[in-house]
Amino acid sequence: MHDYLRPLDADTLFTDAQWLAAMLGFESALAQAQAECGVIPQAAAEAIAQACAVVQVDREALVARARCSGAMGLAVLQPLQQWLRAHRPEGLDWLHWGSTTQDVVDTAQALLTRAALQALLAELAGLQECLTDLARRHAATPMLARSLLQPAQVTSFGFKCAQSAAALQRCRAQLQAQAAQALCVQLGGAVGNRAVLGPTAAAVEQALARRLGLQACGYSWHTQRDAWLRLAMEVAVCGGSLAKLAKDWSLMMQYEVGELYEAPRGSTSSAMPHKRNPVHCMQAVAQTQPVPQLAATLLACMAQAHERGLGEWQAEVAHGASLWRHVHAAAAALRSAAQGLQVDTARMQAHIDGLQGVVYSEALSQTLAPLLGKPGAQAAVAECAAQALQQAQPLQLLLERWLRRQGMPVDAALESALAAAANPRLAVQSSAQACGDLLARTAASASLKENDHALHP
């Protein structure tokens, strides 16, 4: 019933079928890696690989077995044992050799997380591309900057988009960096010391990692979850960046503001046909709401006792997938919003003009400071700014009148300087320049990351 808050492909992450396939894939790859290293007979490895390929694991039966044993990995082994006993007994004694149930689940989770990472990175890249395009097109489009939800100075819509694009580029870089440390096979055996595998442990781990396309970290991380949780925390931080973008756009889409609109999609209200609700932004906001709590839950799971957690690890496995799903869904929703985003530049300019120049108060103060001193200039601007809003008259003109009342000459040069200080096209230049600089740095950072990945895949 809550699928309307998620993209169409949201159910492709961490599905039950994927979990089963990943766990069976671990057992098959482990046996083949061990045979490659001379640990188990080749015939046994072939039998185990065949079992993993043909056995159909019933989900409900697996859940029932796991509920009784408390071990999802063990529940997968039982149907494999039954099949081998009946069809290929030469593999039975070597199934799961030197491994433990947490090895199965952790490695399967790493495989599913790798797929989730690629899906998230694709959505982030698409959203970043949209933001970069908006930034280029609107680098010099004046709009109100807002601090503490109040009008501040003039910025540009392009600069806001460039800032979000840069944040997403940093998210992508951090996710990839942490993934290189976290997406590892787990092969620790009963208590993490690989006692059964002995001196062949490193070779088996590397062969297993190669077959599964994961990293071989060289140690067990059964209850040392630091690298794994750092990746999860980067996902949560990414969710925060997406939440910020969704909030900004949602506020700009309020009718009273009306600076942005999502693409029309028909009726979005049962009672009020005129409404044009920001549905994609709503979806992104809804998806990012649980992210901080999920991150806190996962961090709380790090205190796992001794060599195997009792409840903490199991909770981590249960809730970790939700974090990825929520952040991926938020990214997908915002990408959809960005692809059809409509920008009302006239409304942005009208909001600036409606403030009668008070948003240029700093620039006007600086212009008057050589004449009045900084404190005097700020006092004059503050006095006239209140009148500008009350009387709906331009602040620049009120300042000129104030100066004349004080007996100060207002020549053409000063008038020109005050007009320049209150010119939105001049005021936006700093933001336009900052937008261009930020886009260039972001592109350079992305290029450097791609080159580094090509050299160190």
Catalytic residues: 269, 308
For 342-369, letters b (16+ CB in 10 Å) and e give ebeeeebbebbeebbbbbbbebbbbbbe
| Angle between helix 72-87 and helix 42-54 axes, rounded to 10 deg | 110
Q: Closest Cα to residue 53, out of 63, 41, 45?
A: 45
Q: How far, in Å, CA of 30 to CA of 364, rounded?
A: 72
Helices (H), 373-457: 374-391, 395-405, 412-421, 424-427, 429-455
Of the candidates 208, 203, 217, the one whose C-alpha atom is nearest the C-alpha of residue 104 is 208
- ∠ CA(4), CA(8), CA(10), 5° rounding? 90
Amino acid occupying residue 43: A
Residue pair 258/278 in contact by the 8 Å Cβ criterion:
no
Amino acid, single-letter form, for residue 160: K
Calpha distance 357→394 (Å, rounded): 6
3-state SS, residue 263: coil
Element (H, E) at 76: helix 72-87
CA 121 to chain centroid:
8
The label of the residue with tokens 């952790």 reads 106
